[in-house]
Structure 1
Amino acid sequence: MAERLAVLSRRTGWRLPARRRRAPVLVIVAGCVLAAAAGMMILPGVAPHDPEFIDGAAALQGPSPRHWLGTDELGRDVFSRIVAGARTGLLGPLILALGTTVLAILVAVVAGYAGGRTDAVIGRVIDVLYAVPPLVVAIVVVGITGGGWWTALAVLLVFGLPMNMRLLRSAVIVRVRLPYVEAARTAGLSSVRIMVFHLLPAVASFVVAVFFLTFTYGIVDLSAMSFLGLGVPPGSSDWGRMIAENRAYLLQNAWATIGPTVAVVLVAVSANVVGDWIHSRYESHGRTR
Structure 2
Amino acid sequence: MTKKKAEQPTESSQAAVVLEKPESQLKEMWESLSEDKAAITGLVVITFLALLAIFGPLIMPYDPNFSDMTKSFVQPGAEHWFGTDQLGRDIFSRIIAGTRISLTVGLSAVAISLTVGVVLGSIAGYSGGKTDTIIMRFMDMMLAIPSILLAIAFMAALGKGIDKAVIAIGLVSIPEYARIVRGCILSVKENDYVQAARVIGNKNSRIIFKHILPNVLSSIVVRATLGISTAVLDTAALGFLGLGVQPPAAEWGDMLGRARGFIFTAPYTLIFPGIAITLTVLAFNLLGDGLRDALDPKFRKN
TM-score by length of 2: 0.81
How much identity, in percent, do the aligned residues show? 31
1:132 partner SS: coil
Cα–Cα, structure 1 residues 136 and 91, in superposed 2: closer, same or farther, change >3 Å? Answer: same
In the other structure, the counterpart of 2:41 is: 29
2:269 maps to amino acid: A
AA partner of residue 161 (structure 2): G
Offset at residue 137 of structure 1 (A) = 2.8
Shift, 1:219, TM fit? 1.0
Equivalent-residue separation in structure 2 for 1:30 and 1:231 (angstroms): 26
Q: 2:191 aligns with which of 168, 172, 178?
A: 178
CA deviation map 1:260-288 (0-9, x unaligned): 1111111111112112222321222999x
Residues paired across the two proteins, number: 273
The equivalent position to 1:138 in structure 2, one of 130, 151, 160, is 151
* Of 28, 42, 65, the match for 1:52: 65
* Alignment gaps of 5+ in structure 2: 1-26
Aligned-partner SS, 2:296:
helix
2:92 corresponding residue in structure 1? 79
Aligned with residue 260 of structure 2, among 247, 257, 280: 247
Q: 2:232 aligns with which of 192, 208, 219?
A: 219
Decide whether the 8 Å contact of 1:235 with 1:241 is kept in 2.
no
Report the residue type matching 2:94 in the other structure: R
Structure 2 distance, partners of 1:192, 1:248, is 54
Opposite residue 99 of structure 1, the aligned amino acid is I
1:78-127 alpha-carbon deviations (Å, 9 max, x no partner)? 11100011122221111110111111112212221222332232222222
Higher mean displacement: 178-187 or 193-202:
178-187
Measured in 2, the distance between the counterparts of 1:260 and 1:286 equals: 34
In 1, distance between residues paired with 2:195 and 2:167? 38
Which deviates the most, 95-104 or 126-135?
126-135
Equivalences for residues 1-289 of structure 1 within 5 A: 17-21=28-32, 22-45=34-57, 46-143=59-156, 146-284=159-297
Alignment RMSD (CA, Å)? 2.5
Residue 221 of structure 1 deviates from its aligned partner by 1.1
TM-score (norm 1): 0.85
CA contact (8 A) 2:56 2:96 kept: yes
**What residue ranges of structure 1 are gaps of 5+ in the alignment?**
1-15
Q: Which residue of 1 aligns with 2:23?
A: none
Give the partner amino acid of 1:251: F
Residue identity matched to 1:177 = E
Cα gap change, 1:145/1:286 in structure 2, threshold over 3 Å: closer, same or farther? closer
Between the aligned partners of 1:81 and 1:216, the Cα distance in structure 2 is 20
**What's the CA shift for 1:187?**
4.1
Change (3 A) 1:20 1:226: closer
Whether the 8 Å CA contact 1:96–1:157 is kept in 2: the answer is yes
Where 2:76 maps in the other structure, the secondary structure is: coil
**AA matched with 1:34:** I
How far did 1:130 drift?
2.2
